[in-house]
Chain A
Amino acid sequence: MKQILEMKQIVKDYANCRALDHVDFSMKRGETVAIIGPSGSGKSTLLRCINCLNRITSGSITLNGETFVDTPDGKAAQYIPDKELRRICAQTGMVFQHFNLFPHMTCLKNICYAPIKVKKEDKAAAEQRGRELLELVGLASKADVYTAQLSGGQKQRIAIARGLAMNPEIMLFDEPTSALDPEITGEVLNVIKKLADEHITMVVVTHEMGFAREVADRVIFMDQGKIVEEGAPEQIFTSPESDRLKDFLSSMLK
């Protein structure tokens, strides 16, 4: 099957550290990939490079057959022009740890705003779809409520609906439950599970090992800017090979 995303030899340098060190990563349409690893290992950076929130130092990224950044001279990455880039980046939806909802809009408007402005969708059609998405995340009653009145779990579910409204090729989740109280992570994880069941292509960075094991088709373990180990959840969690993964898993159990 054709790859929906192909990242080759990705290097991302910040001022004083290398966040991604020659990472190769690709995924198939409909796949759910979980990324695990210690804090500072480059998980967020990898997601943000897919979504063009960060620009890579070198390497190439191809999304749905379109290469938006490449390194022809082997030195500095070259991106396509901004306008084109924006169109391609809008094909990936991002869910942030801290939700980043728009506080001056109602929940429904949060969801419909980008489809109307970016995709020039008809307002009535966008709202219709927005209400369906609210239904999907179990918040149909919150359409006309401002986001400050929601709980953390509800906010994150609205953020998921907002991302889905753009019909992205890939949904990216960066620790979607890390800012939530433990007892309400379930409501968010259930929504993500539902999406996995519908074969929406997803990358989920998470510290919820049970969740990763349950929903992921493939688990990737990152450490110090590299993909150290990857495989089926069973293999990663029951027979880890590298010492670093073993250490990480035992530290997560504590």
Chain B
Amino acid sequence: MYRITQKKILNPTVIQMNIEAPLVAKKAKPGQFIILRVEEDSERIPLTVAGTDKENGTVKIIFQVVGATTKKLSFKEEGEHICDFVGPLGTATELDGLKKVCIIGGGVGCAIAMPVAEALHNMGAEVTSIIGFRSKDLLILEDEFRSFSDTLHIMTDDGSYARQGNVTVPLKEMLEKGGKFDMIITIGPLIMMKFVTETARPFGVPVTVSMNPVMIDGTGMCGGCRLTLNVEGKKVTKFACVDGPDFNGYEVDFDEAMSRSRMYADFERHAYEDTCNLYKKEVN
């Protein structure tokens, strides 16, 4: 059992928790993830490590309540326990030698982008961050990004805060003005990462994307997390849990990944509604 040492509501649908898991805390690097089960018989879900406190042996996770399992997790309070917590899984984001980097986060993806920005900042790299949200009330981690970035662009889809538009807007402007980056690192919805990649393509800037497909074991045993890369005209199958989650954006078959991510859409909607109904019954 793994204890929840802290819980913080970041916005109406995004929650941050610190979980006691000393072995994971000792090892986890930016870009890696964990897999957890909330209760006996719960589903296994992957979440990216949003930070670690090595002294207290805790791992920070930030998640959006999108399905039945995250809903169940959101009901857990400080001091309570979750059943399983395993990691760190996947490979860490490759940061060696980067001097000038653009970090682009979308929605809850910003939680994953933040430790990467922090690590780069601490390495002395020049960090430009672009973070995007649907609207002002969904904004998270603004202060953190401000302190780790040399330049910060905040975008909202509806213009309710900062600038209105997609994260690709400031990226395109910077690139067109001759802005140079060693690397663009983007984390967020698949469609956003696809458009970031397309925006960067004419300028030839390397793009790293962080993939988060359906997973079960997270050790390379099931292949459920597989995705297709186009490497020099050849199709190559990779397992996101062990070969990733980071990949070269220019190689990823985003359309296939988006299609695969909807495999259980029906099931998930029903499970989510059931969990909500169950909860309503409990509180009534």
Q: Do A and B come from one complex?
A: no
